[in-house]
Amino acid sequence: MSTSRRQRQRDATREEIKQVARQLMHNQGTAALSLHAIAHAMDLTSPALYRYFATRDDLVTALILDAYQAQLDALIAASETVSLTDPCGRLLATILAYREWALEHPVDYALLAGNPVPGYVPPHAIIGEAARRGMDFLMNLVQSTLQQSTAIPAEIILSPALTAMLESLCQERGYAMPLSIVYLVLVGWGEAQGLVLQEVFHQIQPLISDPGELYRHQARSWVRQLGLSVPLA
Amino acid sequence: MSTSRRQRQRDATREEIKQVARQLMHNQGTAALSLHAIAHAMDLTSPALYRYFATRDDLVTALILDAYQAQLDALIAASETVSLTDPCGRLLATILAYREWALEHPVDYALLAGNPVPGYVPPHAIIGEAARRGMDFLMNLVQSTLQQSTAIPAEIILSPALTAMLESLCQERGYAMPLSIVYLVLVGWGEAQGLVLQEVFHQIQPLISDPGELYRHQARSWVRQLGLSVPLA
DNA sequence: TGTACATCAGTGAACGCGCGTTCACTGATGTAC
DNA sequence: TGTACATCAGTGAACGCGCGTTCACTGATGTAC
């Protein structure tokens, strides 16, 4: 016997609550998330929501975890749009998808990238693990890309302290690549987040009318730093 | 006749209000900013604050503008700790100071870097101008650094679209440098923001115990990209 | 197939709270003669 | 130096609002015999 009719209905409502929450935040900012507002938008009363989420913070946590998963799904999907015979293209497509997903889902991205909901106290263990899964995917993608190419990445001179930290990271998460590469991925992830956040929060537009052009250019030179050759256009 | 006694008292109270607001946000997050809470902490009643700020949003705007100014002051001060005869050291000190100021003033940094106060609607024109002043300082610093050195920055191949945008930026803000350099500064600024935000919001610590090491290393290689030679240690 | 019962989604009223903001006011400080 | 007046910082009560959450409840849906 699969899930009962009642259970399916329950799951659907749970999803609808999250969807409405996202919609409200999209229209009025992450601060607009409130059980009353969600219930009102669903033609329910607010106590009804407690059938689905024990607490407001539980709802927020669910939204954040969903966002991590959706982001990861988008990156995976993007990587799969490019043939396996073009590993470098796969990597580049993934990096560009990072920005595109963020622009298409600014609220979810804001949730991930540090814009907290007022009063929300995140459960660090749970959220940290979700974040690490994203990093794992990127690391593994880079790893398999490099394995399939003849790239010889430039050696980067790392300080002893940095070497030690990167080594312990590799051991913990099972990354099997030169430390220079791990370093480049870590820094690149941070850089991408910086550029995209500035675009999502409209901070860079006063300087540059099309930040995407900047991002795409930087993505290419990042891939090139890994030792891969990227077509110019 | 200079400012009257009354006026000085008034200015002092205005400053105290902002200081208390910063303290409250520091202790309880940016969402904790409220006129009631500030007044309570100052042993005042909340209507009293309306003598000093017409509206809550005016207070937030003042806090943000203060933060921009404080950040800029910190960068300028850092650049001046290094002798004029070592332009490259000046530049590096400034970049490192960017991170240090953010860590010492996480609330002000969050205010700048996009973490909005719930319900606050920023006046884009005013805030955009403050942001541009920071970029101007960095651009000018890089420019004077390069003028005093024999650096020959690597030529970066820029797309036509990117070239056009950078050219118009240079014209608007009066930057007189090769476009490659302007590009590197713009991207570097975004990158720095990304790395620092991840550290301030504790997103990178699950991966790397000392993000500062990562930042310092990246800062050096960024300076090196400009064509300057940086001492290793 | 029909009946008795258990489950449980959703209601409606209420709670205590903190918010931004207004208003008429008091009383101390500063100014003009 | 003393008095009359103006200024204005701060008070205290109140407003309407939306918040998260609780509670006893109703009534429809599903289950067991």
Ordered DSSP codes for B43-81: TS-GGGGGGT-SSHHHHHHHHHHHHHHHHHHHHHHHHHT
**Chain B residues with CB-CB distance to A208 below 8 A:** 165-166, 169, 186
- Tell me the CA distances in angstroms from B194 to A86, A114, A187, B198, one per residue in order: 29, 11, 9, 6
Average pLDDT in the B84-106 region? 96
Alpha-carbon distance of B36 to B31, in angstroms, equals 13
Alpha-carbon distance of B103 to B117, in angstroms, equals 19
Whole-number pLDDT of residue B188: 97
User: Cβ–Cβ of A195/B210 closer than 8 Å?
Assistant: no
**pLDDT confidence band for B116 (50 / 70 / 90):** confident
What's the pLDDT tens digit per position in B38-53? 999 999 999 999 999 9
Within window 14-43 on A, which residues have Cβ closer than 7 Å to strand D? 32-37
The protein residue nearest nucleotide D30, judged by CA to C1', is A6
Q: Which residue has the tokens 């050696």?
A: A155
The protein residue nearest nucleotide C23, judged by CA to C1', is B47
Whole-number pLDDT of residue A145: 94
What's the pLDDT tens digit per position in B185-206? 999 999 999 999 999 999 999 9
What's the pLDDT tens digit per position in A3-14? 788 899 999 999
Type of residue numbered B28:
Q
Q: Where are the alpha helices (DSSP H) in chain B?
A: 5-28, 35-41, 56-80, 87-104, 106-112, 124-147, 160-173, 179-200, 211-225
3-state secondary structure of A137: helix
User: Cβ–Cβ of A115/B114 closer than 8 Å?
Assistant: yes
User: Which of B1-5, B78-82, B90-94 has the least mean pLDDT?
Assistant: B1-5
User: Cβ–Cβ of A119/B31 closer than 8 Å?
Assistant: yes
Alpha-carbon distance of A208 to A174, in angstroms, equals 39
Alpha-carbon distance of B46 to B119, in angstroms, equals 19
User: Cβ–Cβ of A157/B232 closer than 8 Å?
Assistant: yes
Q: Give A5 CA → C1 C1' in Å.
A: 22
Out of B115, B135, B194, the one facing A193 most closely (by C-beta) is B194
Whole-number pLDDT of residue B212: 98
**pLDDT confidence band for B1 (50 / 70 / 90):** very low
- Tell me the CA distances in angstroms from A149 to A38, A142, A143, A218, B191, one per residue in order: 50, 11, 10, 21, 27
Q: Pick the residue from chain A with its C-alpha nearest to B127.
A: A203
B229 CB-contact burial (10 Å; exposed 0-12 / middle 13-18 / buried 19+): exposed
- At CA B204, angle to CA B203 and CA B210, rounded to 5? 135
- Closest to A222 measured CA to CA, from B223, B218, B181, B99: B218
Computed over every residue of chain B, the mean pLDDT equals 94
Q: Which residue has the tokens 């005013």?
A: B126
Q: Which residue has the tokens 């607009």?
A: A32
Task: For residue B37, give the nucleotide whose C1' atom is nearest its CA.
Answer: C18
> Contact, B65 vs B127, CB < 8 A?
yes
Q: Pick the residue from chain B with its C-alpha nearest to A171.
A: B207
**Residue A57, CB, less than 7 Å from strand D?**
yes
Diameter of chain A measured on Cα atoms: 61
Alpha-carbon distance of A140 to A152, in angstroms, equals 17
Position B217 pLDDT exceeds 90: yes
Position B2 pLDDT exceeds 60: no
- Which H or E run includes A171? helix A160-173
User: Cβ–Cβ of B187/A214 closer than 8 Å?
Assistant: yes
Whole-number pLDDT of residue A233: 61
Alpha-carbon distance of A1 to A5, in angstroms, equals 11
- Which H or E run includes A75? helix A56-80
Average pLDDT in the B151-157 region? 84
Sign of CA dihedral A196, A190, B117, B57: negative
DSSP letter string, A187-223: HHHHHHHHHHHHHHTTSSTTT-S-HHHHHHHHHHHHH
**Chain B residues with CB-CB distance to A217 below 8 A:** 158-159, 162, 183
**Would you state the structure tokens that stand for residue A84, as one six-digit string?**
């396996």
**Residue A118, CB, less than 7 Å from strand D?**
no
Whole-number pLDDT of residue A6: 87
Position A24 pLDDT exceeds 90: yes
Whole-number pLDDT of residue A1: 42
Q: Which DSSP state fits A43?
A: T
Q: Pick the residue from chain A with its C-alpha nearest to B195.
A: A190
Whole-number pLDDT of residue B165: 98
Whole-number pLDDT of residue A230: 85
- Closest to B24 measured CA to CA, from B72, B73, B60, B66: B60
The answer for residues whose C-beta is within 8 angstroms of residue B107's C-beta and 6 or more apart is B22, B25, B26, B30
What's the pLDDT tens digit per position in A174-219? 999 999 999 999 999 999 999 999 999 999 999 999 999 999 999 9
Q: Pick the residue from chain A with its C-alpha nearest to B161.
A: A213
Within window 133-192 on B, which residues have Cβ closer than 7 Å to strand C? none
What's the pLDDT tens digit per position in A86-142? 999 999 999 999 999 999 999 999 999 977 788 899 999 999 999 999 999 999 999
Whole-number pLDDT of residue A180: 96
Q: Pick the residue from chain A with its C-alpha nearest to B111.
A: A115
Whole-number pLDDT of residue A117: 86
User: Cβ–Cβ of B118/A118 closer than 8 Å?
Assistant: yes
Task: For residue B35, give the nucleotide whose C1' atom is nearest its CA.
Answer: C20
Position A2 pLDDT exceeds 60: no
DSSP letter string, B178-201: -HHHHHHHHHHHHHHHHHHHHHHT
Chains A, B: CB pairs < 8 Å:
137
Alpha-carbon distance of B65 to B124, in angstroms, equals 12
Nucleotides of C under 7 A from a protein CB: 8-14, 18-24, 29-31
Position A150 pLDDT exceeds 90: no
**Would you state the structure tokens that stand for residue A138, as one six-digit string?**
């990127």
**Residue A118, CB, less than 7 Å from strand C?**
no
Average pLDDT in the A55-60 region? 97
Computed over every residue of chain A, the mean pLDDT equals 94
Q: What percent of chain A has pLDDT over 90?
A: 87
Average pLDDT in the B14-20 region? 98
